[in-house]
Structure 1
Amino acid sequence: MRIDLLLDSRQFGGIEAHVGELAKALTAAGHKVTVIFICDYGPHPLKTTLAQQNLPFICLNGNAASVIKTLGARRPDALHTHGYKAGILGRLAAQLGGFGCCSSYHAGEPGRGRVALYNWVDRMTASTANQIIAVSQKIAAQLPPQTRVVNNFVDAQQTISQGLRIAYVGRLSEEKGPDRFIAAAKQLTTQQWHVYGEGPLRNTLEVSASHNVIFHGSQAMHDHWQHIGLVVMPSRFEGLPLAALEAMARGIPVLASAVGDLPRLIQHNSNGWLIHANTEAAIANTIACNVRQWCALTQQRRNHIQQQAKNTVQAHYSADAVIPQFIHCYQQAATQGARYA
C-alpha cells in the first residue's frame, strides 16, 4: 500500500517517535511510506532519523491549501494523521480527494486556550475519518463509538540497560507532571535526578530545582537510554506514553502515575511501580520512597524486574504485535475512501 503519515511538528516528542517507528515498521513490512510535515520548522530529530534510515519525507509550507492540494495530487491508498492540525486538514483533504484516512488520537489532556479549541474541533470532526484510532481506552471514550484502541509500539529488540540514572523523559508541561519530579528530588538529594526534555515549564523548573537535578534538554534518547536505570513518569494526564514503552523495551522499569493506560502497562511491583497518591505532597513522598526502594534492591531482584518490563513490551507493544492492526485499519480506510471517491 501507499501510505502517507501526516503531522505538524516543531520539536521531538511522543508523536514524532511513534511516526518514526511506524514508518520504519511499515516499510519493513513491504509498504511504500512517506512522512509529510505540514510545515518546515528547520532542523528536526525526526527528519534526521528518517534520513539516516533512507525513509522518504517531504515538508510543506504550512498553508492549509497546500496541504489539501499536495495530498489530493498524491492520493495515497491511506492517509494516517497524527495531532489535531494534521487531523483536521488531513480528513478534509481525504474527503475532497476521495482517498482513505485514518486519524490517531495520542493525547488525553484537553489543553488550554487556542490548543483547547483546536483539540475540540479535532474531536468533533473525528467521525469524518474512515478509521479512528486511540492509544488508550480513556482517549477512546472521548471519541465516536467506532474508535479502535490500538497500542503504541516500539522496537522491542533492544539491549537491557545497565544504567543507574533516575530520569524524567518527556515534555516539560503541566500535564506531564515534571514539577512533581522536581519536588521528589528535593527529598533525596544524595541522588542525582536527570531531566530529558523541553517545554514551557523549563525555566520555572530550573529556578525551583535543587542542586542534584540535571537538565539535559531535548535529546535523541537512543544515545541516552543506556545510562538510565529508572524512569519516573508522574503525569496528570496520559494516553499510553511512548517513552514508557521505549524504557521498558530496554529493561528500564517505570514509576508512573496511575493515569490513562499506564495501569494496563505496568503491574505494580512486578515490571514497575504505580503512584496512587492524590495530593501533591503525597505524590512527591511516594516518588522519593519508591526511588529509595529501587536504589536498595538486590541485583537479582533488579534483574527480575528488568526482564519483566522487557517481556511485557515484547508480548503486547512490539511492532510484530501491533503493526498488523494498523495495516488492517489502512485496508479498511482504503476501501471506504474509494467507495466515496
Structure 2
Amino acid sequence: MKFNVVLFVDSSMLGGIETHLVELSKLLTNNHISSYIMFYQDHKNQAFYNLLNQENIRYEFLKGNLSSLLKQLKSFDSNTVIHTHGYKAGILGRLVCKITRHRCISTYHAGEAGTGKLKLYNTLDKLLSPLSINFAVSKQIKHSIKNAQLLENFIAINKSQSNSNKFKTGINIGFVGRLSFEKGPDIFCRLAGNMQQHLNVKFHIFGDGPLKGELPNLHNLEYHGLVERNTIWKKIDVLLICSREEGLPMALLEAISEKKFIISSAVGAIPSIIKHGITGFLIQETNAQHFEQQVEKLLAQSEDHTNTIINNAYSTLEKRFSGKQQFKLLKQAYTGT
C-alpha cells in the first residue's frame, strides 16, 4: 500500500519534539516514504526552519485556524496519513481527521502534566486519544494514555565520532532544553554557583523558555540561547540532565551519538538507558549537591574508565535507538496492517 505522511505540529521553539520530527522525517525518507511537516501556523521559529532547510525536509504553514486545517485535509487523498505531535496539533488533528475520515496517528511526547491552561490542554489531549492510533515515547507517558504503544525516540547514529576525553585538564558541562521549571535550569545554575572555585569546569546553557530572565550572572556560566545542534556538541563534553519530569529526551540520544558523557536525574525513561556507572551517572535525588558529587567523581576517575562508560552508552544507542524497530511499528500504524 502506497501512502503519504503529513507530520502535523504547532511549533514555536527548537526542542525535543522538533528534533524528533527531524529524525522521523529522515527515517521515513530512508525507507522511501513521502512526508512533509505541516505547521498549524508560522511562529517565526527560524532556528527550527533553518535546521529543516539544512536537512532538506519539506514544510509548509497553515493560517492558524480550524478552517485552514479543514480545507487542507480535505485536499488530501485517502492514502494520506496525519501524524500529530504536541497537544494542540493532537487535539485539532484528531477532531478534523474525524470529519475528513483520514487516518490519524498521534505521538505523546510530554511527561509533565503542566499547570493552568497547559494542564487543561494536556487533559483534553488525553481525553481525545480514542480518536487516534497512539504512541508514547516513554513507559511513564504510555501508562497515562489508555490506548498507546511505546515508541521510543530514535536517532540517526553518528558513526564518525571518536572519543578521547581528558577531563582532568578542563570540562564543559551543558544544559540543553527548554528553560522551564520541570527541566530544572535552576538546579543547573545552583550547581554552577557551587562550583565556581573549580576553574577547569565551565557550564553552558542552550535553549529558551520562561525562566530565561532568572538565569544568574556567573563567571563560569555561559548562556548561548537557541543555536544549531551541531554547535552544541562542539562546545560541551558532558550533557547534564537535571529534569524533575521527563519522557525520553532527544538531547540524551543526540549526546550519546556524539559520544558525550551523561549525568542525569533518574526520571522518565532515562534509567532504561543510563545505568549508573555503566552508561553514565544517574542521580536519584535531583538537587545541586548530588550533581556536584557526580561531577567531582567524573573529574577524579581515569580517562579509560570514562571512555568505557561513553562507549557502553553508544552501544546501547546502536541496539535500541537506531530507528529500525521504531519504523516497523510506525509502518503498521500508518497502513493498519
Residue 215 of structure 2 corresponds to 205
Assess if the C-alpha contact under 8 Å between 1:16 and 1:46 holds in 2: yes
Instruction: Give 2:35's match in structure 1, choosing from 33, 36, 39.
Output: 33
Instruction: Give 2:227's match in structure 1, choosing from 189, 204, 219.
Output: 219
Unaligned 5+ residue runs, structure 2? 166-170
What is the CA distance between 1:43 and its match in structure 2?
4.6
Q: In structure 1, give the amino acid aligned to 2:244.
A: R
Distance 2:91 2:129 in 1: 8
Residue 311 of structure 2 corresponds to 307
Give the 3 Å change call, closer, same or farther, for CA 201–98 of structure 1 in structure 2. same
Distance 1:178 1:249 in 2: 23
For residues 210-263 of structure 1, the C-alpha deviation after alignment (integer angstroms, 9 at most, x for no partner) is: 321111111111122133211110111111111011101111122111111111
Assess if the C-alpha contact under 8 Å between 1:162 and 1:226 holds in 2: no
Residue 169 of structure 1 corresponds to 176
SS for the counterpart of 1:224 is helix
Q: In structure 2, give the amino acid aligned to 1:228.
A: I
Instruction: Give 1:292's match in structure 2, choosing from 296, 302, 308.
Output: 296
Residue 153 of structure 1 corresponds to 154
Distance 1:160 1:9 in 2: 34
Residue 270 of structure 2 corresponds to 262
Assess if the C-alpha contact under 8 Å between 1:315 and 1:321 holds in 2: no
Assess if the C-alpha contact under 8 Å between 1:84 and 1:122 holds in 2: yes
SS for the counterpart of 1:74 is coil
- Equivalent residues in 2 for 1:310-325, closer than 5 Å: 310-325=314-329
1:187 aligns with 2:194: yes
Assess if the C-alpha contact under 8 Å between 1:10 and 1:44 holds in 2: no
Assess if the C-alpha contact under 8 Å between 1:80 and 1:101 holds in 2: yes
Q: In structure 1, give the amino acid aligned to 2:211.
A: L
Residue 339 of structure 1 corresponds to none
Q: In structure 1, give the amino acid aligned to 2:224.
A: H
RMSD: 1.6
What is the CA distance between 1:324 and its match in structure 2?
2.1
Q: In structure 2, give the amino acid aligned to 1:286.
A: H
- Equivalent residues in 2 for 1:9-88, closer than 5 Å: 9-75=11-77, 76-88=79-91
Unaligned 5+ residue runs, structure 1? 336-341
Q: In structure 1, give the amino acid aligned to 2:292.
A: A
Distance 1:29 1:18 in 2: 16
Assess if the C-alpha contact under 8 Å between 1:161 and 1:228 holds in 2: no
SS for the counterpart of 1:11 is coil
1:106 aligns with 2:109: yes
Distance 2:61 2:308 in 1: 45
Distance 2:122 2:142 in 1: 14
What is the CA distance between 1:44 and its match in structure 2?
2.2
Q: In structure 1, give the amino acid aligned to 2:46.
A: H
Segment drifting more, 255-264 vs 218-227? 218-227
Q: TM-score, normalised by structure 2?
A: 0.92
Distance 1:116 1:160 in 2: 43
Distance 2:306 2:316 in 1: 16
Q: TM-score, normalised by structure 1?
A: 0.91
Count of matched residue pairs: 325
Runs of at least 4 residues off by over 3 Å: 160-164
